[in-house]
Amino acid sequence: MSDKTDDTAHAADKKTALRGGVAGHVITALIAGGAAFGGARIAAAGRPGAAPPAAAAAAHAPRVGPPGFTLALEPFLVMAADTNRRTHPMRVVLAIEFDQSAREEGARVFVSRIRDASLAYLRTVTYEAASDPERMEQLRTHLLERVRGTGATGVTRILLTDLVVQ
């Protein structure tokens, strides 16, 4: 009989220890999570010169004023080669945005030069570069440099209004 009493007492102790162990783990996890969250918030707030994420993004955003006129170019059809030298048709439609001081009449005389410079650059673009969304800004930047090199003054931005690569 004493064996049964010892077994029952041992089983009761085991259940209590098990419940305390699970509860202990849950409480420990909650405390650790709260401490990590609080520490991250304090560290972010305590950095000297730290700005809230929205303010930081706004501070680095380029200042863009209202555009002048936009010169829409006729579509380009270019063959882009991939790494295996297989060609893919690429249809590109560009619009050239000018600042407010530029005059439309003065810029229209550069359309042929702008198309030539743009086409010359687009023929060098590979299929992989044209189909990669992360390289769009680089493509715009290179096109902008080429267009500014034509002598057209007041060009502020290149807009890729349509880009289809097959």
CA 90 to CA 54: how far, in whole Å? 37
Distances (CA, A) of 20 to 24, 29, 139, 158: 6, 14, 62, 66
CA 84 to CA 72: how far, in whole Å? 33
pTM above 0.75, yes or no: no
Q: What is the pLDDT of residue 60?
A: 56
The pLDDT tens digits for 79-119 are 989 888 899 999 999 999 998 888 888 888 999 999 999 99
Residue 53 inside a domain? The answer is yes
HSE-CB for 81 with a 13 A CA cutoff:
5
Residue 111 sits in which domain range? 70-165
Residue 130 inside a domain? The answer is yes
In which residue ranges of the chain is pLDDT below 50?
none
Q: What is the pLDDT of residue 138?
A: 92
Residues 112 and 138 in one domain: yes
Q: What is the pLDDT of residue 97?
A: 92
Residue 152 inside a domain? The answer is yes
Residues 160 and 80 in one domain: yes
